[in-house]
Amino acid sequence: MELKVYGHEKLVVEIAGIEGVLDRSIAEGLAEAAEKIKEDAKGFCPVDTGSLRRSIRTSTVNSQGHLHTVSVSAGGGEVTNPRTGKPVDYAAYVEFGTSKTRPQPFMQPAVDGNREEIVRILYRKVQEAVS
C-alpha cells in the first residue's frame, strides 16, 4: 500500500504562520487580563490618602519567544504620599500586614477573583486569532 500526501508544504507554512498570530493574541489577552486585575485591585485597596490606590499599575507585556509576562504592581517611587512626600513603598505591609497591623489584602483578592475571567479572555483571544 502506498500513501501520498500532496499540499503538506502549504499546511506546514500555514501552521508556522499562525504561531505569530497566536503569540500576539496571547500577549493582547494578558494585557487585557492585567487591566481587569488592576481595576479590581484598586477597588479592594484600602484608602487613606489614595496614594496606594493611585500607585497600582500594569507593566507592558514582555514577550520572549513564546513566553509572555505582564505584571500588576503597587507601590514604588512613581507615586508619593501627599502627607509625607515619600514614595509609596508600603504596599506589601498593607497586603500582608505587620506585627502591629492586620493584613488588608487587595492584590491577591483581585487575582483570585479573576482566575476564570483570565482563562475566558485568553480563550476568546485565541479563538479570534484562529477564526
pLDDT tens, position by position, for the chain (131 residues)? 566 556 656 766 666 778 888 889 999 999 999 999 999 999 999 999 999 999 999 999 998 888 899 999 999 878 888 899 999 999 999 999 999 999 999 999 999 999 999 999 999 999 998 88
Rg from Cα positions in the chain: 21
d(CA 35, CA 27): 13
User: What is the residue range of 95's domain?
Assistant: 8-130
pLDDT score at 65? 83
With contact defined as beta carbons under 8 Å apart, do 58 and 25 qualify?
no
pLDDT score at 8? 59
Beta strands in the chain (DSSP E): 57-58, 62-64, 67-69, 72-73, 76-80, 87-88
pLDDT score at 90? 94
User: How many domains are contained in the chain?
Assistant: 1
- Is 3 contained in some domain? no
- Is 2 contained in some domain? no
Q: What are phi and psi of 43, to 5 degrees?
A: -70, -35
